[in-house]
Copies of this chain bind each other. A is one copy, B any other.
Amino acid sequence: MNNQTSAIKRIEQASRLIEGSISLAQGTSSFSSHEIIKKEVISAIENNKIDRYSDVAGLFELRQIISQKLSDSGFSYSSENEIVVTSGAVQALSAIVLSLFKRGDQIITFTPTYPYYSRIIEMAGVSVLPIKLQAEKEWAVPIELLEKSITPKTKGIIICNPNNPTGSVIPKKDLLAIARLAEKHSLKIILDDAYHRLYYGKQPLFNLCDKKFFNGEVIRIVSLSKTFDLSGWRIAFLHGPQNLIRDILEVHDNLVNCAPVVSQYAAIAALKNEKTIFSENLFYYSKRRKLMASCLKQMKDYFEFDLPQGTYFFFPKIKNIENSRELCFQMLENSKVAVVPGEEFGPGGEGRIRICFGKSEEEIIEGMSRIKTFFSEKKELAIKPGFKTLKSSPYYG
């Protein structure tokens, strides 16, 4: 197997080995975990609260806070049996797919999207049906095509909203159209709300967990990695109807016993202090989004792009280039800047790159300047004797 880890991981790891490189690849920000979180975790460690397994579903105190937070958003889920704390969002998705779907089932993804969906679905022996978002229509879901594509084998749909890597948002009417199809065909809806807080729109984001509008089978994953800069802590949660949670919990137990207890304390601190911690970050992300947009505007000879409505990614189309993988590894080796090849995100991602603006303004300015230089010199590079590619690197795949 050549692609043992995702290209995101491989290019990030390759960039760490190159001195002076700048990474705008992996979805992490320039921020460290907030002082409030660090302080509360240290206190939990000092008081020996973190040594032993928690309940499989997570610390009851944390589940109560989550239940309260959901209730504040208008969603009603019981801390007793409708919430599971997980070791990050991919662990949540693995537990969901391994428990609720069986070999031969099919799950729909809207592409380009997060590559772990297809990786995890296939790991479970389930097949993926990728449906291409419409790039020319602000990445809208093709509802008619979706309906036509559903077969008796189709059992689920994964929705990432805002979507990684496109930064696009599915409007309420389309979400409800998807939900109606899901209900009609008995499909389970999995919502990956990794970026629900990284949203720059004016209209509030609609969510299918809102039982006033939809009452079908929805399981929602909420990562704390992006909102609170906790990616290293591996902490997230999922919630859904009790009958599904029961089955998910069994597999969750088999996968990790419980989420790391120290990280559960980080989650308690983060959720209790959400307003303080998060509003600061969103202010900076908004600024950086404008900054990256202005950099990309200066490269209109090389790129076409949409302004993302959410996430911390731009996903520009590269003019006259199809193989973005080769290009990204060339860019890293020659210009020491890492971005993710669009192919990584599945059909519809070809000929694009994902650039993360979670990083500091300095990194964004320098990284974007290196990209510009790379493109302006590209034709020469390809024929220069010193030109290197990473094809021989273990990370190239």
CB nearest to A243 among chain B residues: B1
Instruction: Kindly list chain B residues whose C-beta atoms are within 8 Å of the C-beta of A26.
Output: 53
A230 cross-chain contacts in B, Cβ below 8 A: 51
Residue among B50, B116, B123, B232 making CB contact with A98, cutoff 8 Å: B123
Pick from B3, B125, B254: contact of A120, CB below 8 A: B254
A24 to chain B, nearest CB (A): 14
Distance to closest chain B CB from A73 (angstroms): 26
From A45, A55, A231, A254, name the one whose CB has the most chain B CB atoms within 10 angstroms. Answer: A254
In the complex with contacts A234-B258, A256-B90, A262-B260, A55-B119 CB distance below 8 A: no
Beta-carbon contacts under 8 Å, A178-206 to B: none
Q: Which residues of B contact A119 (CB under 8 A)?
A: 250, 253-254
Which B residues are in CB contact (< 8 Å) with A31? 51
Q: Residues of B contacting A52 with CB < 8 Å?
A: 28, 231-232
Copies of this chain, whole number: 2
Q: Measured between C-beta atoms, what is the minimum distance from A6 to chain B in Å?
A: 7
Q: Is the CB of B232 within 8 A of A53?
A: yes
**Interface membership of chain A positions 1-39, coded 1 if the CB is closer than 8 angstroms to chain B and 0 otherwise:** 101111001000100000000000010100111000010
Residue numbers in B under 8 Å from A1 (CB-CB):
246-247, 250
Contacts of A356-390 to chain B: CB distance below 8 A: none
Contact residues in B for A33 (Cβ distance below 8 Å): 45, 48, 50-51
A91 touches B262 (CB 8 A): no
- Asked whether any CB of chain B lies closer than 8 Å to the CB of A66, the reply is no
Which one of B3, B38, B260 contacts A263 once the chains associate, using CB atoms below 8 Å?
B260
Inter-subunit contact A255/B91 (CB<8 Å): yes
Total interface residues on A, using CB and 8 Å?
A: 60
Take A4-B249, A103-B125, A253-B6 as given contacts and tell me if A32 and B48 are in contact as well, using a CB distance cutoff of 8 Å. Answer: yes
Q: Distance in Å from the Cβ of A272 to the closest Cβ of chain B?
A: 18
Q: Is the CB of B56 within 8 A of A87?
A: no
Residue in B116, B123, B231, B261 whose beta carbon sits within 8 Å of that of A232 in the complex:
B261
Q: Is A88 an interface residue (CB 8 A)?
A: yes
Nearest CB of B to A100, in Å = 12
The answer to the question of A113 belonging to the interface, with a C-beta cut-off of 8 Å to chain B, is no
Q: Roughly how many angstroms separate A194 CA and B283 CA in the complex, as a whole number?
A: 47
A251 within 8 A of B: yes
A112 to chain B: closest CB distance in Å? 19
* Chain B: CB-nearest residue to A262: B262
Question: Are A41 and B32 in contact (CB-based, < 8 A)?
Answer: no
Most chain-B CB neighbours within 10 Å: which of A91, A116, A230, A262?
Answer: A262
Whole-angstrom distance between the alpha carbons of A247 and B1 in the complex? 7
> A111 to nearest B CB, angstroms?
18
Taking the complex as formed, is A338 at the interface, i.e. its CB lies under 8 A from any CB of chain B? no
Question: In the complex, which residues of chain B have a beta carbon less than 8 angstroms from the beta carbon of A254?
Answer: 90, 94, 116, 119-120, 123
Which of B28, B91, B120, B250 has a CB less than 8 Å from the CB of A53?
Answer: B28
**A5 and B257 alpha carbons, distance in the complex (Å):** 9
22 A-B interface contacts by CB (under 8 A):
A1-B247, A1-B250, A4-B247, A4-B249, A4-B250, A5-B249, A5-B250, A6-B253, A28-B51, A42-B45, A42-B46, A53-B231, A54-B232, A91-B255, A125-B125, A232-B262, A233-B260, A234-B257, A255-B256, A256-B256, A260-B262, A262-B262
3 cross-chain pairs, A with B, having the tightest CB-CB distances, nearest first:
A232-B261, A32-B48, A260-B260
